[in-house]
Amino acid sequence: MFTVAIIGRPNVGKSTLFNRLVGRREAIVHDFPGVTRDRKERKASLLGLEFLVIDTAGLEEAEPDSLAARMSAMTLGSLAQADVVLFLIDARAGVTPMDEHFADVLRKQPTPVVVVANKCEGKAGEPGLLEAYAFGLGEPVGISAEHGTGMGDLLEALLPFARQYADDHGETLFGEEPAAPVLTAEEQAALDDETLGADEDPSLPPVRTEEDVTKPLRLAIVGRPNTGKSTFVNALIGEERLLTGPEAGVTRDAISVDWTFKDRAIQLVDTAGLRRKARIQESLERLSVGDTLNAVRMAEVVILMLDANMVMDKQDLTIARLVVEEGRALVIAVNKWDAAEDRQASIQRLKDRLESSLPQVRGIPTVTLSAIKGQGLDRVMDAVLKIHRVWNTRVSTSALNRWLEHTLSKHPPPLSKSKRRIKLRYMTQPKARPPTFAVSCSRPEDLPESYVRYLANGLREDFGLDGVPIRMHFRKPK
Ligand code: GDP
Ligand code: GDP
């Protein structure tokens, strides 16, 4: 599991941060140094990202001259286990000689380091935060472990390492995918049932949408600051509506506005634009991945707003991946089309980026618009309605198994390492939202990624699942 070590001199707030990440009062916090003695290792989560966290302590009891020796012995041991180190300093106290000493050690070892300036609530931490740049260990992240601020920034700093780890180990980033839970007993029974499809209602079409149009479609609009999200929302539903909507007793964490588009009830959830109109004080200059993640998780469809002159930079891609990893349907809206300098280049760049960075989801709907001129708004919303229907697609078991047979005959699975044929016997779609398929497979562990992609792409093409994430589970028959 992705592992994070917390390191720093006594009293900088390691235990406080550890507790916050672990979510229980695991480590004892005290005002005097030397309380946490053992190295602790616990499961932790930060805005949905799951990992192991190691708290290191005990160094404070060392004789000053043996400090270095103790550090090497104890701390380096846990560093070796970690994928990334959070190097904590106390921003209120500023950088001390002992911090410098830690920094020296950290510079000489291979595990990547994120400098974290703790106790940054209020203004008292600002000088310390700036001093922390001087370590030369990268941009420090300002947090308050005690007050829980800066957690989105901390997540953002950890994400590249977490992503690297997930890529290297074939794991998903946010633990158990919330949109694709473990199969229920019923679904498992359906999968185990060899007579699949026999009792299906033959009057139902083989491919249909399970969209419940009586429920409002939950939509989030996300993107970097200044891409035009508020302008878009205003143009769409009117300033007045926005000003009144969020005040109706809605809390800071769940701002939403209801309206209808072409007779379809839409619920706009938690966007920075809404927050601003709700006059909630917040730093809007920076993108907070934590806030974005919250909005994405609340939504079914997510509009990612881009600026036509800065299409798909690193942050845009981070958000797009987040949406896909969370199993939500994504619509990409390229705003400020009126002011686009080179439209063709902009679209080409978007295509290239999507192809190279999100190849697992082909056909993500992309719409250009000018929010300020009110052009293309309907096209964006039409794309939202359409992708939502696709996201709710349900394919009948019989159609799936006909498809599987055909697909296997066109291009059978390869031999396993022990030269045995990998058998795919049957499949079902235990759930929609996003479309999730379960395939009975003799050797799931031997099935190459390329073959999984072949199946997923085939499903996408043959059942019209363009632009939505597809989940596939392969399991051994009992
Ligand atoms: P450790 O020795 O590094 O594990 O530090 P602790 O977690 O025990 O914290 C040391 C002291 O700093 C305790 O009194 C905490 O309450 C306090 N502390 C921790 N985090 C913060 C913070 O974000 N802001 C402020 N002002 N105090 C904090
Ligand atoms: P947000 O931070 O994403 O909510 O962005 P805003 O809606 O506040 O817009 C940021 C800036 O972009 C403002 O100055 C808007 O007037 C401008 N803007 C928004 N939409 C458009 C557009 O379609 N064309 C142009 N040229 N400017 C736009």
* Domain at 368, CATH number: 3.40.50.300
Decide if 197 is inside a domain.
no
CA of 104 to the centre of ligand 1 (A): 23
pLDDT at residue 180 in the model: 34
pLDDT at residue 201 in the model: 60
Atom of ligand 2 nearest to the CA of 225: 2
Verify that 110 and 60 share a domain, yes or no.
yes
Verify that 374 and 452 share a domain, yes or no.
no
Which residue range is the domain that position 415 belongs to?
A: 396-475
Decide if 195 is inside a domain.
no
Verify that 280 and 164 share a domain, yes or no.
no
Please report the ipTM that was assigned to this predicted complex: 0.56
Decide if 30 is inside a domain.
no
Verify that 354 and 401 share a domain, yes or no.
no
pLDDT at residue 369 in the model: 96
Least confident of 55-59, 226-230, 444-448: 55-59
Atom of ligand 1 nearest to the CA of 8: 3
Decide if 468 is inside a domain.
yes
Residue nearest to atom 19 of ligand 2 (CA): 228
Residue nearest to atom 15 of ligand 2 (CA): 228
Show the ligand 2 pocket: residues with CB < 6 angstroms.
223, 225-231, 273, 335-336, 338-339, 370-372
User: Please, which contacts does 290-295 make with residues 24 or more away whose CB atoms are closer than 8 Å?
Assistant: 290/47, 290/151, 290/152, 290/153, 290/155, 290/156, 291/152, 292/222, 292/319, 292/322, 293/47, 293/48, 293/155, 293/322, 293/326, 294/47, 294/253, 294/270, 295/220, 295/222, 295/269, 295/270, 295/271
Structural domain total, the chain: 3
Least confident of 144-148, 180-184, 347-351, 460-464: 180-184
pLDDT of 307 above 80: yes
Verify that 144 and 283 share a domain, yes or no.
no
CA of 346 to the centre of ligand 2 (A): 17
Verify that 11 and 138 share a domain, yes or no.
yes
Confirm whether pTM is higher than 0.80: no
pLDDT at residue 325 in the model: 86
CA 342/CA 161 separation, integer angstroms: 34
User: Which of 342, 370, 393 finishes a domain?
Assistant: 393
pLDDT of 28 above 70: no
Closest by CA to 51, choosing from 75, 11, 21, is 21
Decide if 202 is inside a domain.
no
Residue to probe by mutation, ligand 1, list 6, 7, 9, 11, most atoms within 8 Å of CB? 11
CA 242/CA 277 separation, integer angstroms: 7
Verify that 128 and 59 share a domain, yes or no.
yes
Average per-residue pLDDT for the chain: 79
